[in-house]
Amino acid sequence: MKGVKGAINSRWSMSDDNGDSIDDLNCVSLEVSGRSQVLLWRPIAKAWEELENRQQGRFRRIMQMWCQGHKLTQEMFNGNEGRSPVCNVMLQAFKAFKIRIYGFVINIDNIRSFIVIDMDLAKKQDKADQGILKRAYTRLDEMSKKRKK
């Protein structure tokens, strides 16, 4: 996909249960394996590009393992970063190098899809930054509202 370093072309022309396509959701594909994928929301593509190649590589491997259904350790993935206040959707995070990549899971044409909506590149502690979590919840709620229209 144009403009996002490391984005790949998806194997599917997909839409979610609301009929939204990947383009409608403003996403590009980062990893696809089996019946799962990880999508990057385009407005945060610059943050992804700020990661070093080795960091991107490590996250891609973790994302690939997630897509393949492997059990991820707590050092790689947090399946419960809380729920967004409006749409009550669970926020989750891929983790490596004290960096967190936040997103949520939806079903797009029976493809389990993790949509990355925020990143914390400056993490210096194990606990999540509450300001970034709040921003991620807001983005998740905004995206959910748009999908329901």
pLDDT of the residue at 148: 57
Average pLDDT estimate for 5-31: 63
Query: What token pair was written down for 16?
Result: 């979610």
Residue 45: alpha-carbon gap to chain centroid: 11
Residue 124 CB neighbours (<10 A) = 7
- What is the residue-wise DSSP string for 34-101? TTEEEEEEGGGHHHHHHS-HHHHHHHHHHHHHHHTTPPPPTTTEES-S-B-TTT-PBPEEEEETTEEE
- pLDDT above 60 (res 20): no
pLDDT interval class at 144 (50, 70, 90):
confident
Which range is least confidently modeled, 94-98, 101-105, 110-114, 141-145?
Answer: 141-145
- Single-letter amino acid code for the residue at 62: I
CA distance 104 to 40: 11
pLDDT of the residue at 146: 67
**8 A C-beta contact, residue 108 and residue 13:** no
Across the chain, which distance is largest between two alpha carbons, in Å? 40
pLDDT of the residue at 1: 39
- pLDDT above 50 (res 2): no
- pLDDT above 70 (res 6): no
Q: What is the pLDDT of residues 28-68, one digit of tens each?
A: 999 999 999 999 999 999 999 999 999 999 999 999 999 99
Average pLDDT, the chain: 85
The strand pair at 77-78 and 92-96 is best described as: antiparallel
Structural domains in the chain, sorted by start: 27-144 (3.30.2310.20)
